[in-house]
Structure formats: structure tokens, C-alpha cells
Structure 1
């Protein structure tokens, strides 16, 4: 059966699939692994890739890119007509760019997110995660994991890395919620403009009094006139501080949810806490924080998996589907915290592999490890069927995760490792 004749039978955007999209992806991978879906509202063609090999290939192909201005004007105009982005003012960052601009910006920021730089943050991440878990214990009874731990942890850590005051956490969280979780375009744009004004103020401060933080380094690079433009500077701060934190939020939330859904694996982790790193990798594979890569564009006619994707059409590599491909992962629907090897694509692949992957992993290990140590009786406070998921497939996670957290073990010294 051709991709075209199946265009109405498989709709990954259907809200009915948000709670558990995996059965749909299994059917697509078996019957239409390169699946053309025509959006009824815009008439645009979206090609969903669900096999590991095809997703891997698309993420490496230079003829599948992110920048509309690489397409002929008439093809780019068809997309711009429908992509009315209320946050267009903060999109000039490496997440949305192709080489050479992407390469230039990534080289500038990569040192702040390298393995050695992130390892230096380990003690601070442990401390912050421990303090947030202590607050959950002090509240007693029930706590929302997302609100109490998964959201504040990455905002606090990345804000410190960039160089924003800890006292601004409440404002940063509000902007993050409005821009990334609200469906109201007016509210999103207002938060975006407030955030830009805030960053402009901090940039002026760094020009007058440079420090050793990442923002100071970016401001100095802008002043040279070579490495980064002013629009790219603001957009990059947005990507790092607000857009980037959602991956960590979803990773922590989804990871804890899967442990509670699989009590045998939770007990396995309690018995062998040194498996926390492997557990996080399995969470990335089994029910990762990002459903699909950013929507890409075929810059020329591209052949993938036996289908030709016409120039200008949208390509959607589905990471969730690739990570349960039985051709790569034995028993893909089994949550196994000891899985090895585990060549998942949870953080993408190729030149756009998540810059903050090492930092996200470290925060997830610290947060989930602290929860498992502190709350031996931890359990879901609601039926899993009642959990609310993010409204679209791109960011894949629960909006809240109510937990029963008592009784708990005594607090331990900060920086202790499982």
C-alpha cells in the first residue's frame, strides 16, 4: 500500500494518541514506515519516518535542513503563510539553523556544555536536587514532581551557568511556562517580549561589568563582530535557558513515571543504585522527552526508505518510533534499566545532537537518584490514564505528575552519590 493511500489512516497529530503513541508508531513502522500525511487545514505534506535506519539517515542528510531560506522563494512562502510563530524574535539560534551559521554558533557555545565543564557542575546539581527533594519531604504527603523538582532544577542550574541571579527564578519560570506551555499566541508573544527585554538588560550589565559566566562570553564574542550577532545572542540565550530546559523536565518526569509503572525495575534500581546512568538511558529510549526532531524541509528531492520526498515537503523523523524499532532493539516494548547496548536517538543525532545532553543526563541522574533514595514508598497519586500530556508530539511529557512521597528516609549530606 502506498504512502499516499494511507495518508488518512495514520494521523500522528490526532490527540487520541498523545497518552500512548507507541501502538500507532508500531503500525506505521510495519505498514507505512515513510508515511505521507497531508494536513487538512494547510494542505502541506508531512513525511513521518518511523524506522530507526530512516530516522538516522534523515538526521545526517545535508539535503534535509531547517532553514526555509535555503528553499526557492515560492516554496518557502507556502510554509511561512502557515508558520505564524509568536516567538520568531528568538529563533535565530543553532537549533533552527543549518551550516555554516549552525557550525559557527555551536563552536562558540560548545565549551560551556562539554563533558569536563558539565562534570564541574556535578556537586552543585546534586545540592540543588537534594534541596528540592527536601522541600518535597517537608511538605509531606503528596507533591507534583513536575512543579516541585523537574521544572525548577534545570532553570536554576542553567540560569547560574548563563549568569542570571537566583532571585530571578520566579520570573524565568513564568516566562518559560507562558512561552512553552501556553497555547495562547498573545500570551506567548508577550512573555517573549518581556524575556527579550530582560536579556537586553543583562547584556548591558555584562558590557559594563564582564564576568566569567556564559553570557559574558557571548557578549564579548558579539563585540568582536565575528562570532555572533545581537539577534543570535538573544536567541541563543532563549534556547539554552528556556527551550532547552523542557527536555530535562520531560526526561525527569517520564523517567520517574516509567519506574512507577514498572515496579520491578524500580526495586532493581533501589537494590543497585549504581544503575542510575543506565536507567536514564533506557528512559530516553523507552519514552523519551522529545517525540520527533524539529520539523525539517527537503531541500531537494530526497529518496528515503524507498519513497521520494519532493523538494519543499516537511520531513518528520520520529525519535519515539525509532527508539522502539525491533530491528535495533530486542524486545523494544520492555523497559529494561540494564539494557546494553542502547543506541537510542533520544537526543537526536548528527550535527544537531542536543548540545545540553550531558547536562540533561546529569540533572536526571541527580533528581531521580535523590527521589529513589529519599522516598522508599513513592507511588503515583493518580491513575496513569488521568495524566495530562503535552499537547503536541514534539515535546513529549506529562504536564504534572502527582506523587505520594511519604514516608521518607532522612536527608543525607549534599553531594553524596548513589
Structure 2
């Protein structure tokens, strides 16, 4: 299997490749991955769901790579974050942040999200194409997560740039440098917050570190960097992918324009249809595990192709069709089990508000370029558009 991110056709539409791989076998060994020994790729829905929740698939990257030589220079705060831990460490870290992302907590943020969305859309020109990614999908979730954490407004442009560089596939030096920039920035911001405490999530995490000592200093920096990056990356790609899917399916778009109340219930189908997460984060087997009738020996990396699993015809009838009336709850975009994305309620709230305002304010929105000319980000972990030029006219 060649490196898929090098293939523009795969980036544009990975689903035929996923379908062919799944048809061969929903779990198979592929000659890519860590250490030069390859990985096991999971493309079936049931197999992916099982793998995501199986405690024998560890996320402890430090343990897996211990003793292995690497030319990478990722900052430890990025290389060893909460996503790269197992219980009980993962349980302890996750418990510190879940309260800020509950449905109730997110509901309190909705007025701020709505005001921010309106402010961004107010700047859109109506006499020339606008890049929806650059002018909405990127800044909206960055502003929201920075507001939640307590990142000062003058610093947010740098945070946005460094976060984007972390996903610069094929540019390891850029990724490594961005990891240090983010970690160094967060270390400095923590020091400022200690001198002048506030009420943001970052302040509460510092209190947990300094008061109850439930966090080491390294864990504090790592957790804050993770929240900054993960807190907007999924939403950015969700917004771009969802708008493109709707523009390419006029009947479904018309349905939401006539019945905007259905936007909330349509989000799961949009998340399933073109998942903003392409491949789940790193896992490896701590003992032999059988998935889909295939035995994976201990010590092997396992790549769970979320995008492939969400299009499995064994789980979703006519999976390549966008059907907003489909009951798509149960998709794997936010994961499954103890590692399910803690920020899922916030991502869905941001998408819900943004789509409502887009459809209300710009009822004639359309693609400004042919779909085949759109460019996609060159990364295996996430799936998202580099740009999405649209033409709009006010309601």
C-alpha cells in the first residue's frame, strides 16, 4: 500500500480506496507505519468499534517507542499528551476537563459562539468569492477554544498558525518546530496566569496543579496544548466538509433551508458522511488480539480508519449517499469507549450555530470553483479542505 497522502486522487475522494480495502478484508496488514514493520489497518465498522474500546490496544506511545531511535524533535508536551495515555493516568487527566465540555457547559457558550459567528460573517464580501475555511471554519473554533481556555486575543493568531503547522504532513521539521512554539507559549501563559489568576479553564487547571497537586507541571502544559489544538481542529474540518457536502447535494441543502430546525439532527449524518477525522490516533497491541478473524500479534500498531468505518455498507445502507433523514447516531467520528472525544458537544454546537447562520444569511450560497479544483490537506489523521471558495449574496 503506497502512502495515500501522496496521491491527490485519494485526498480528493478516499472512499473508493477504503471500499476496495474493506472488500479485501476489514482488517489487514499494510506496509506503512512505525518502525518499518507496517501496521494493521481497520476499515470495517464493527471491527473499528471493537478496536476503539479494546483495552488491549494501548495508546501509551511512550511505552511503544521507548528505546527506539527517532530523528523527530517533537516537544514532550505534544508527543506525550492525554491522547497518548491509558488508565489510570488517562482517567485522572480526563476527569479534570470533562466538566467544561458537558452539554450544559456548552449551552452556556452558545451566545458567545453565535456572536462570534455573526461577527465573522459580517465581514464577508458579497461581490466576490470568499474562502469559507479561512474566514469561518478556522477562526470560529479557534476563537471559541481560546475564549474557553483564557488565551488573550492578541495571541490567538499565533496559536492558530502553530496549530495548523502541527498537521503539515510531509514536513516533520515544521511540525516539530510548531510543537515547541505551542508548548513554550503555553508555559509562558501559565506563568502569567499564576501571577494574575482568572476564571477560565486554564486557571482551573492551574489550581488543580498548584492546589491539589493532581497534575505535574509537564502534564499541565501538555493538557493545555492538547485542548488548544484538539479544541478547534475537528470543528474546522467538520464545517468545511459539511458545507461542501450540502452544496454537492442540493436536495438535502434545500431540505435544511426549508426546515432549519432539522440542522441539529442532521449533524450526525454530516459527521458520518465525510468524517473530519480520517484515522484515529495511535494504538498498538499489548497482546495478541483478533479483529475480524485476523490475529494481530502483540506489539503491532493498529490504524483505525474512521472514514472507512463510517462508510461500511454492513452498518449503513447506501453509505455513499448523504441522507439527512438517516439515523446516523453511532458513527465513529468522535471515537468510542473511554477515549471518545471529550469536546464532541462543543464541536456539534459550533457546527449547529454556524450552519444555521450560513443558511439563513446566505440562502443562495454556492461553490465558486468546480469541486474537482478544491484542494485537501495532506495529512492522514484528519480530513479537511485547504480552501473552500464560495459565492454568497445576502438574504
| TM-score, reference length from structure 2 | 0.94
- What is the Cα deviation at residue 236 of structure 1? 1.1
Q: CA RMSD in A?
A: 2.0
Q: Secondary structure at the match of 1:397?
A: coil
Give CA-to-partner distance per residue, 1:106-147, whole Å, 9 cap, x none: 0011111111111100111011111111111x4642100110
Give the aligned length: 394
The aligned residue for residue 117 of structure 1 is 105
> In the alignment, is residue 189 of structure 1 matched against residue 176 of structure 2?
yes
Give the drift of 1:245. Answer: 1.2
Alignment of 1:172 onto 2:165:
no
Where do 5+ consecutive residues of structure 2 fail to align? none
* C-alpha distance in structure 2 between counterparts of 1:62 and 1:41, whole Å: 20
Mapped partners of 1:341, 1:90: distance in 2: 32
- Report the counterpart of residue 49 of structure 2 in structure 1: 56
Give the counterpart of 1:22 among 15, 34, 42.
Answer: 15
Alignment of 1:141-156 (within 5 A): 141-156=128-143
Of 241, 245, 264, the residue aligned with 2:251 is 264
Report the equivalent of 1:38.
31
What secondary structure, in the 3-state scheme, does the structure 2 residue paired with 1:218 have? helix
Distance 1:33 1:127 in 2: 44
Deviations 1:250-298 (CA, angstroms, capped at 9, x unpaired): 0000000000110111001100101111222111100010011112101
- Any idea what SS the aligned residue of 2:284 has? strand
Change beyond 3 A, Cα 1:408–1:237 = same
**Aligned twin of 1:414:** none
Structure 1 CA distance for aligned equivalents of residues 78 and 364 of structure 2: 43
Matches within 5 A, 1:53-92: 53-71=46-64, 76-77=66-67, 80-81=68-69, 84=72, 86-92=74-80
- State the distance in 1 between where 2:290 and 2:164 align: 39
335-344 or 348-357, which deviates more: 335-344
Decide which moves more: 272-281 or 191-200: 191-200
Give the structure 2 partner of residue 47 of structure 1.
Answer: 40
| Contact kept in structure 2, 1:86 and 1:186, CA below 8 Å | no
Take 2:222 and 2:343, find their aligned partners in 1: how far apart are those partners?
Answer: 16
Distance, in Å, in 2 between the alignment partners of 1:44 and 1:60 is 24
Structure 1 residues 83 and 361 mapped into 2: Cα distance closer, same or farther (>3 Å)? farther
Query: C-alpha distance in 1, partners of 2:186/2:46?
Result: 41
Equivalent position of 1:408 in the other structure: 394
Question: Alpha-carbon deviation of 1:210?
Answer: 1.7
Tell me whether 1:132 sits opposite 2:120 in the alignment: yes
* d(CA) in 1 for partners of 2:328, 2:163: 35
Cα drift, residue 13 of structure 1: 5.2
2:330 is the alignment partner of 1:343: yes
- Larger deviation, residues 251-260 vs 163-172: 163-172
Residues of 2 paired with 1:168 and 1:70: CA distance?
34
Give the drift of 1:85.
5.1
Equivalence map 1:271-310=2 (5 Å):
271-310=258-297
User: 1:221–1:227: 8 Å Cα contact kept in structure 2?
Assistant: yes
